[in-house]
Amino acid sequence: MTDPEKEIVDAFRDWIARTAREKVPAVGTTRKVDGEGEYQDSLALRLYTDTQLWLEVNILPGESILRVGLASDDRTMNEDAEQLIEDSKDPMDEFLELGLADAGYEDEEGHRMDHFRESGIFYFATSLPLPDIASLQGELREQAMRLVEGYATAFEELIEDD
* pLDDT tens digits, one per residue of 127-160: 999 999 999 998 999 999 999 999 999 999 999 8
**Total-model pTM:** 0.94
Least Cα distance to 64 among 143, 151, 135, 16 occurs for: 135
Neighbours of 40 (CB within 10 A): 9
pLDDT value at 40 more than 90: no
pLDDT band at 94 (very low <50, low <70, confident <90, very high): very high
pLDDT value at 162 more than 60: no
Least Cα distance to 147 among 118, 110, 121 occurs for: 110
Q: Are strands 43-48 and 121-129 parallel, antiparallel or unpaired?
A: unpaired
CA distances, 52 to each of 30, 61, 92, 134 (Å): 14, 27, 21, 33
Q: How far apart are CA 162 and CA 81, in angstroms?
A: 17
pLDDT value at 41 more than 90: no
pLDDT band at 21 (very low <50, low <70, confident <90, very high): very high
pLDDT confidence of residue 161: 58
